Structure 1
């Protein structure tokens, strides 16, 4: 969306609307799309008749808010706190937020030095339960540290539990992290995370839709989650009960066509029940940062092959492995018996047996063939892995 012919006016109008219209209000977004920011702001300032799709009572409430709003004061308070206002069409606006349609933020208040648009290009959300277990905190911190160490920006909500662990993991790795708050970015919430959020603002970015000084409410937490989902390439849920707010983020990511990713937990843990529900649907199971990057990264960002140590028998030619596997573990067998087990001819089995003898896997025993001690151990290990 273009900033319009009067960028200064558009800025003040949008700042006004962040005081008046609640985050994610699709009616307000539709008004902006159909009438333009300037016209919507004018009607609110002048007490004009209601815009379409709103009751008289609600419109009166919006007019009361508009009467108390002072966008110039908000911008001055923001500047004093080191906060800037980023709006659609501006150089720092992350275009992927436009996928939210009429629920797109009217603008974002941003605290921190880096470019939000550039950081969002290679970002992944790590979210989960506030009352997480030690396992959940460990997984969130480890994932975030590894993602940050590989050049990814970790986005979360600044809350207790998994969110805080993810931010700390990224910061501890010297990496990039973004906290998306459900309040004014000049008022860290929760208060117990004031030091953490201030540190994020110094090393990363703190972002929010609400004007300076605004407090969080339950609905604002829920609506904040759509920004986390839209801003990032994918959402990783570490721990979540059936009614966890982090599931809202994951489902928003699914609706937006982003990757939805889950870290499994114990089958008996209620705090992993919501994650397991996601995994029974379209979410993808991951266990480490390499798995996550394979999902959200560019072509060629593949996780390593999940294999155990290479055993000597793995280096054998396939038909020789089949013959080796057909030998009994504790007795000798004839070539004919081994051939039947390997589903090959007796002549081919004998040829392979002589190869295996040269490699120390088998030995002649009267009229039959028997595994050596080395081969017994190798075959046993191979069967454990299969």
Structure 2
């Protein structure tokens, strides 16, 4: 069931009267319905716990645009005003308590609740480096490919790279803005914000036509933190709004993650400080999903490149280690160096010869380094020699071309 028209109008009016995260207004809504709270503000009714100064501040905004005008404006944009109690309302925002939004102005077709269920916040420095932009874009493109929505703030730097990365693969992305959803900010992101509204969602606590302020940027960070199961910081200085988002996410019991950067970069200092405390180090989308996803969404193990010699049986590998390059050595010297008897050394050398690992000249054997250090083929690395047919040529069996 959706909320009544009366409650929707009252909550829309409150988004103009009170600033986001106003705990005094939050307490008022905890004790009274939105309609009753609005009635008390528009009359001389007593409001315990609210100072006269704050009450005067509320009442100076009562002569602003009527809520029905704001609702008509959002409707003309193809959007809607989503309230607590609506089917589309993300109930995880209720964790904000008295700082819960009075409602959210939403522009875009997808369901906010459904996108938020499988979403990750990616935030970071506005003046990010090329490294930060590259990491954020690639990470969010991969998250989009895995079916995860990316939530960020549409600011310059990491935020923009995160949104663009998701959009580039047809993924869904959500921009939480500090203005009205019809006010492009920053101006240079007007086209990006249009793309987000077409492919994902723009959401705001402020009604149409409102402009951002410094405090509103900080306050919207709590919505980003609460909306998603986890927050990733890509680059951030020690004093950064991204750190506010990450620490608020940790306070709310969400996963906090950070991508490491160069230790010489001041823009990675804040991210590294998080990694020394509450954050988990992540470097790819699979690791983010492992934390924020369902049971069984495990990231694959990462390994270095496998060399051809890594696939040799233990005895052959031991003998190969004892074969010198250059002029080589006699079988007796190789056997002694490998710690095996002469017959075992000769058997291993004759196995290694057709694979191209060693070469023989008269009675001396030498290493062929360029072949011994060749990377194993993907097939050999995954199946292994024991699982392949014995009819396979020896060199191919060990991932080496003859």
1:320 touches 1:356 (CA, 8 Å); kept in 2? no
**Per-residue deviation, 1:251:** 0.9
After TM superposition, give the deviation of residue 28 of structure 1 in Å.
1.8
Q: Which runs of 5 or more residues in structure 1 are unaligned?
A: 340-345
1:299 pairs with 283, 292, 295, which one?
A: 295
Alpha-carbon offset, residue 209 of structure 1:
0.6
- Bigger shift: 210-219 or 58-67? 58-67
Selected match of 1:373 from 368, 374, 378: 368
Structure 2 SS opposite 1:236? strand
CA distance in 2, matches of 1:276, 1:77: 44
- Contact 1:327–1:371 (8 Å) recurs in 2: no
Alpha-carbon distance in 2 for matches of 1:40, 1:286:
45
Check whether the contact 1:353–1:362 (CA below 8 A) recurs between aligned residues.
Answer: no
Matches of 2:203 and 2:320, distance apart in 1? 60
- Map of 2:136 onto structure 1: 140
| 1:201 alignment partner in structure 2 | 197
Match of 1:261 in 2: 257
1:248 aligns with one of 244, 248, 252: 244
1:33 corresponds to: 30
CA contact (8 A) 1:13 1:38 kept: yes
In structure 2, C-alpha distance between the alignment counterparts of 1:321 and 1:102, rounded to whole Å? 70
Task: Please tell me whether the aligned partners of residues 327 and 370 of structure 1 are also in contact (alpha carbons under 8 angstroms).
Answer: no
Q: Determine the C-alpha separation between the residues in 1 that align with 2:65 and 2:46.
A: 19
Instruction: Output aligned runs, 1:213-228, within 5 Å.
Output: 213-228=209-224
In the alignment, which of 119, 143, 165 is matched to residue 169 of structure 1?
Answer: 165
How far does residue 352 in structure 1 lie from its aligned partner after superposition? Answer: 8.3
CA distance, structure 2, for counterparts of residue 132 and residue 75 of structure 1:
37
Equivalent of 1:327 in 313, 322, 325: 322
Is the partner of 2:215 in helix, strand or coil?
A: helix
Aligned residues: 368
> After the TM superposition, which of the residue ranges 64-73 and 157-166 deviates more from structure 2?
64-73
Of 275, 278, 282 in structure 1, the residue corresponding to residue 278 of structure 2 is 282
1:97-246 mapped onto 2 (5 Å cutoff): 97-246=93-242
Q: Compute the TM-score of the two structures, normalised by the length of structure 2.
A: 0.82
Matching residue of 1:342: none
Query: Is 2:355 the partner of 1:358?
Result: no
Alpha-carbon distance in 2 for matches of 1:80, 1:202? 15
SS of structure 2 residue aligned to 1:196: helix
Question: In the alignment, is the contact (CA less than 8 A) between 1:3 and 1:10 conserved in 2?
Answer: no
CA change 1:371–1:285 in 2 (3 A) is: farther
Contact 1:108 / 1:207 at 8 angstroms: preserved in 2? yes
Structure 2 distance, partners of 1:350, 1:28, is: 88
Alpha-carbon separation, structure 1, partners of 2:227 and 2:371 = 52
Contact 2:306/2:375 (<8 A) preserved: no
In the TM superposition, residue 326 of structure 1 has moved relative to its aligned partner by: 6.5
Determine helix, strand or coil for the equivalent of 2:274.
helix
| Residues 316 and 322 of structure 1, relative CA distance in 2, 3 Å threshold | closer
Partner Cα separation in structure 1 for residue 78 and residue 334 of structure 2: 83
Match of 1:84 among 80, 83, 89: 80
